[in-house]
């Protein structure tokens, strides 16, 4: 645990956006983190659904070390072999024609929104510029992303945001239909809502949106920053639902810890982005794209995705069992290794700190839910170890 002096110093010199936890990590190995005093933590948070390969993964670490010795940063005007390899690798496993690499999830969302608006206004005229988004959604902290976030507290203090945005109800097709008009350029949503509480979209809702977008020539944007890259048991969340969006946003698990994001789309949309209309200095640099290719190759190895589904189910079953025995947890939900349950024992943030003390990292989300998003390499044994710590912590509440 970190001492008070360390936390005071951190809060003094770092702009205070996180509310730091009382711990200081020294290293990670596999699915475990170790603090500066040598305490071990089982990580069910994975850097907020990022570290899909865990820590110090031998293949990942070797690839990045090799690349940093060779060429760590290129010039964005030069399409180096690493960027091409990453693009080929990710396009080959998806339904899209083109990809743009950036550095964060919010930047991927910005790119997709800009692409949709440029396509819509160039194809249908300036009036077709509106975005429909979902209540309780989360898309990042930049001004464009904030404009399509359906949780007021994230927007407080930053308004006025983009004009022409309209908020619909998640999983309520009629509410979307009421807001769609000839002015709608795009509908943006998370197929599985993350920060909003781990709420999967219903298949009927997503298929209804797909049909609506086809009927009115609207771009359907899936923000898979949190639910994509294997997290729910398919590489892309849209595969789980059996439909394809027009544009998709990725980050987090895409680089498994190296800061990289991307958006992809069909050429119908992405061809409207031309030199000068978008860009990113670091986006897709050789280290970032080495991370992308390495991560995808690992995920495609036999058994990797089976593990996400199998161990994810062990976690979900275990959470359900705990919820049956304790009234402190309820409403277990989620897919693959993107799971949550409502916490009924007071503020969930206090419970998160209690778990930390007991050697388990979990996260919060939604109104008062515990979120479980471990590295995708978690084994059944480790899943049970974490569930036991969770149970023990609940008993202490």
Residue with tokens 């959604």: 137
Residue 8 C-beta: closest distance to ligand PLP, Å? 26
138 binds ligand PLP (CB under 6 A): yes
- Only one of the segments 103-111, 276-284, 327-335, 384-392 lies at the binding site for ligand PLP (rule: CB under 6 A); that segment is 103-111
**Least distance to ligand PLP from the beta carbon of 350, Å?**
22
Per the CB < 8 A criterion, the answer to whether 233 and 308 are in contact is: yes
Residue 272 beta carbon to ligand PLP: minimum distance, rounded to whole angstroms: 22
Q: Is 195 in the site for ligand PLP (CB under 6 A)?
A: yes
- By the rule CB under 6 A, 190 interacts with ligand PLP: yes
Check: CB of residue 159 under 8 Å from CB of residue 193: no
Is 253 a residue that touches ligand PLP (CB under 6 A)?
no
Residues 222-241 that bind ligand PLP (CB under 6 A): 223, 225-226
Residue 334, interface with ligand PLP (CB under 6 A)? no
d(CA 364, CA 372): 8
User: Cβ of residue 4: shortest distance to ligand PLP, in angstroms?
Assistant: 28
Are the beta carbons of 307 and 122 closer than 8 angstroms?
no
Nearer to ligand PLP, 18 or 77 (CB): 18
Query: Do residues 320 and 338 touch, judged by C-beta distance below 8 A?
Result: no
Interface residue with ligand PLP, options 23, 31, 46, 106 (CB under 6 A): 106
Q: Please tell me whether residue 251 binds ligand PLP under the rule CB under 6 A.
A: yes
Stretch that binds ligand PLP, among 58-66, 116-124, 187-195, 331-339 (CB under 6 A): 187-195
Question: Closest distance between ligand PLP and the C-beta of residue 251, in Å?
Answer: 5
CA distance 210 to 202: 13
Q: Is 111 in the site for ligand PLP (CB under 6 A)?
A: no
Q: Kindly indicate which of the ranges 146-154, 163-171, 189-197, 334-342 contains the residues binding ligand PLP, using the contact rule CB under 6 A.
A: 189-197
* Bridge partners for 27 per DSSP: 34
Question: Which of 293, 299, 135, 115 is closest to 205 using CA atoms?
Answer: 135
Q: Tell me if 194 contacts ligand PLP by CB under 6 A.
A: yes
User: Using CB under 6 A, which of 51, 67, 89, 104 touches ligand PLP?
Assistant: 104
The residue at minimum Cβ distance from ligand PLP is 105
β-bridge partners, 35 = 25
What are the strands, taking DSSP E only, across the chain?
A: 25-29, 32-35, 40-43, 98-102, 130-134, 165-168, 184-189, 192-193, 199-200, 219-223, 247-250, 261-265, 329-335, 338-343, 360-361, 363-365, 369-372
From candidates 105, 144, 245, 265, binder to ligand PLP by CB under 6 A = 105
Residues 6 or more apart whose Cβ sits within 8 Å of residue 176? 132, 168, 169, 187, 208, 209, 212
Question: Please, which residues bridge with residue 28 across strands?
Answer: 33
- For ligand PLP, which residue of 83, 117, 128, 139 counts as binding (CB under 6 A)? 139
Terminal-residue alpha carbon distance, the chain: 20
Say what the alpha-carbon torsion angle 230, 249, 139, 316 is, to the nearest 10 degrees. -10
Interacting residues with ligand PLP (CB under 6 A): 48, 104-106, 109, 138-140, 190, 194-195, 223, 225-226, 251
């Amino acid at each position: 645990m970190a001492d008070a002096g360390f936390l005071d110093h951190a809060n003094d010199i770092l702009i205070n956006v996180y509310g730091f936890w009382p711990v200081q990590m020294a290293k990670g190995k596999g699915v475990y983190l170790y603090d500066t005093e040598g305490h071990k933590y089982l990580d069910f948070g994975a850097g907020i659904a990022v570290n899909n390969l865990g820590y110090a993964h031998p293949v990942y670490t070797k690839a990045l070390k090799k690349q940093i010795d060779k060429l760590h940063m290129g010039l964005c005007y030069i399409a180096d072999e690493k960027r091409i390899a990453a693009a080929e690798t990710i396009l080959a496993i998806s339904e899209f024609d083109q990809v743009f690499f950036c550095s964060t999830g919010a930047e991927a969302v910005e790119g997709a929104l800009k692409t949709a608006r440029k396509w819509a206004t160039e194809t249908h005229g300036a009036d077709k510029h509106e975005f429909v988004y979902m209540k309780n959604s989360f898309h990042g902290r930049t001004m464009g992303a904030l404009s399509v976030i359906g949780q007021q507290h994230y927007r407080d203090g930053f308004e006025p945001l983009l004009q022409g945005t309209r908020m619909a109800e998640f999983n309520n097709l009629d509410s979307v239909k009421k807001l769609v008009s000839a002015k709608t350029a795009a509908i943006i949503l998370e197929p599985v809502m993350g920060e909003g509480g781990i709420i999967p979209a219903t298949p009927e809702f997503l298929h209804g949106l797909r049909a609506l977008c086809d009927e009115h020539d609207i771009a359907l944007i899936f923000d898979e920053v949190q639910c994509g890259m294997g997290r729910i048991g398919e590489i892309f969340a849209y595969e789980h639902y059996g439909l394809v969006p027009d544009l998709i946003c990725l980050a987090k698990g895409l680089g498994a810890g190296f800061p990289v994001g991307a958006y992809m789309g069909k050429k119908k949309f992405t061809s409207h982005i031309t030199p000068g209309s978008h860009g990113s200095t670091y986006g897709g640099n050789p280290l970032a794209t080495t991370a992308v290719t390495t991560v995808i190759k690992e995920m495609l190895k036999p058994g990797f995705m089976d593990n996400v589904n199998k161990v994810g189910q062990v976690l979900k079953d275990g959470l359900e069992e705990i919820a049956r025995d304790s009234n402190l947890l309820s409403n277990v939900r989620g897919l693959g290794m993107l799971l949550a349950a409502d916490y009924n024992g007071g503020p969930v943030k206090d419970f998160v700190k209690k778990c930390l003390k007991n050697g388990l990292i979990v996260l919060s989300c939604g109104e008062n839910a515990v979120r479980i998003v471990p590295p995708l390499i978690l084994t059944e044994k480790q899943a049970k170890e974490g569930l036991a710590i969770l149970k023990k912590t609940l008993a202490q509440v």
